[in-house]
Copies of this chain bind each other. A is one copy, B any other.
Amino acid sequence: MKHIAESTVRRLSLYLRFLEELEGQGRETISSEVLADSGGTTSAQVRKDLSFFGSFGKRGLGYSVTALAKRLREILGLGQPWQVVIIGAGKIGAALAQYRGFRARGFHVVGIFDSDPAKVGRTLDGVTVSDLAQLERELKQLKPQIAVLTVPADVAQELVQRLTKAGVRGILNFAPATLHAPDGVTVRSVNMALELEILSYALAHER
C-alpha cells in the first residue's frame, strides 16, 4: 500500500468521529461536502482522502454513514481492541488512566506502572498500579501493543528501550523529550508546552 500522509490519517479520524455522531442520530447518508465541514476541510479533500482506500460512495447520493464508519474503523485499525499500559501514575498518567474516551475507542488500559512505592498498589478505574520493577514480568502476561509514557523526561528514553524489548510496538509519549526507537516501533509525542508555544507564536505575530 502506498504511503499515506499523517495529515490524511488525522482527517480520517475526524471523519469517523463525526460519522459516529450521525450514526447515533440515525442519519443514513452523507455527502463529502457535509463531512468536509465537520472536519474543517474541503469536499475534494474528503474524496481524495477516501480514494486512497477505495471508492465507498454512490454518485448523486453520497456515502452510507454506517458503511463508511465501519470501513474507516477497519482502515484505522480500530476493528480490534488494543491493549494499553500506562507508565507513570502521576497527575497526567492518572488522568489518562481514568479517561473514558480511550475505552470508547477500543483502547483498553490493562496495566499501570510506577516506580514510586507510594503510588504502587493504588487503583485507578479498576486497574491497580504495579511496581515498575515488575514491568517485564507483567508485560509477558498483559502483552500490550501500546504504551503511554507519562514519566519525567529524563527517564523516558530508557523506558522506550525496556518497553520495546518487551514487545510493545507503539508508544504515545507525553514527556517533553525527543525519543528514539528501533524500526518497527512507532513513537508519537504529545507536547503540550509546545502547543502553547505555537499559540504564543500566532498571538505574537497577528496581523
Contacts and interface: CB of A to CB of B under 8 A. Distances in A.
A101 B176 CA distance: 9
Contacts of A77: 197, 200-201, 203-205
Contact of A202 (B94, B176, B186, B202): B186
Chain A interface SS verdict (over half): helix
B203 A195 contact: no
A137 to B, nearest CB: 24
Interface string A180-207: 0000101010111111111111111110
Q: Assembly of this chain: how many copies? A: 2
A39 interface: yes
Contacts of A92: 92, 95, 99
A96 to B, nearest CB: 7
A107 B196 contact: yes
A179 to B, nearest CB: 9
B194 A192 contact: no
A76 B197 contact: yes
Interface in A84-103: 84, 91-92, 94-96, 98-99, 101-102
- 6 closest A-B pairs by beta carbon, nearest first, are A77-B204, A91-B95, A77-B200, A170-B199, A186-B202, A13-B197
Given A13-B191, A105-B197, 18 more contacts: A13-B197, A13-B198, A14-B194, A39-B178, A75-B201, A77-B203, A78-B197, A78-B200, A84-B196, A94-B95, A99-B192, A101-B176, A145-B203, A169-B203, A186-B199, A188-B198, A188-B199, A190-B190
Interface of A: 1, 4, 6, 9-10, 12-14, 16-18, 38-40, 75-78, 82, 84, 91-92, 94-96, 98-99, 101-102, 104-105, 107, 145-146, 169-172, 176, 178, 184, 186, 188, 190-206
